[in-house]
Amino acid sequence: MIFDDRYEVFLADTREAMSLHYHLRYQVYHVETGWESDKHLVGGKLERDQYDAFSKHFLVRDRLTREWAGGMRLVVSGFNELPLARVSQLDRIAGIEFDQSHCVEVSRLFVLPDYRGGRRYGEVSAVKKRTSASYFEVMLGLIRAARSFGLHNGLKSWYFLVEPGLARSIQRLGIDLYCCGPEVDYRGIRRPYYGEVSSCFDRILSAPSELSTMFSRKEAYRSFSRSFIEPPSLDAVNGCFGALNCSGMGA
């Protein structure tokens, strides 16, 4: 699969990796979009909130350039403690019984500009420049990591707060998400979507394809603490990041 040839996903389980994750979020959600206010900043250039205490954080790195391409967090809690519960309502879906006590929200999912067809400081080099297809590659790599984490930790359901157009694109790829609430105006028009961790990828896995090969791969991510890479320097990456694509997901 192209993703695994080019990228690798890490669970940010060290102080250095967590600081990098918060710094990337600062660049995305404070500097570029202005979506988060100063009250969420720690030490000036780290963006955190109350949900990070019960979240798992992931990072994507480009194997070729050694640059960071994106990230996300998984907020693990009961439904009423998820970020999307602040801004949306949950509707009953016929035939689906929600387990609201043990679920996860895919949150703060972002892809950096070189990996969504964007530019920084003028033209990027040919080795760095990617197309909009890279956006979906990085996003799917993070979603695969979320699935793997959920399966290995007994999580039953997951939620997304996402623009309807992006949800339809994800569904067309073979991931079964169900709209479970009305539209809300939160950083654009978004809706809550729901999926079963154990079954929403069945269509992808049922037929041979590059995606089924990708999602069948045993290792979806590695712990940063068990990798053999140098701890990231915030000085080296400062100012090199950009915003979530306008079709991004997560609160």
Write the CATH number for 116.
3.40.630.30
Number of domains in the chain: 1
Choice between 163 and 38, residue whose per-residue pLDDT is larger? 163
- 89 is a domain residue: yes
Distance (Å) of CA 166 to CA 179, 189, 226, 248: 12, 11, 34, 8
pLDDT at residue 87 tops 70: yes
Q: Which domain holds residue 221?
A: 2-237
Choice between 227 and 142, residue whose per-residue pLDDT is larger? 142
Supply the pLDDT for residue 62. 93
- 244 is a domain residue: no
Per the prediction, the chain carries an average pLDDT of 80
**Residue 141 CA to chain centroid, in angstroms?**
9
Supply the pLDDT for residue 51. 93
pLDDT at residue 236 tops 50: no
Would you place residue 98 in the very low, low, confident or very high pLDDT band (cuts 50, 70, 90)?
low
Strand, helix or coil for residue 115: helix
Lowest mean pLDDT among 70-84, 98-112, 136-150: 98-112
Lowest mean pLDDT among 59-68, 171-180, 217-226, 236-245: 236-245
Supply the pLDDT for residue 240. 43
pLDDT at residue 221 tops 90: yes
- 243 is a domain residue: no
Supply the pLDDT for residue 174. 93
Supply the pLDDT for residue 162. 92
Supply the pLDDT for residue 134. 82
Choice between 101 and 155, residue whose per-residue pLDDT is larger? 155
Supply the pLDDT for residue 136. 86
For residue 220, what is the DSSP state? S
**Residue 67 CA to chain centroid, in angstroms?**
17
- 248 is a domain residue: no
- 250 is a domain residue: no
Supply the pLDDT for residue 89. 80
Supply the pLDDT for residue 71. 96
Distance (Å) of CA 236 to CA 3, 8, 11, 202, 239: 25, 19, 20, 41, 9
Supply the pLDDT for residue 144. 96
- 219 is a domain residue: yes
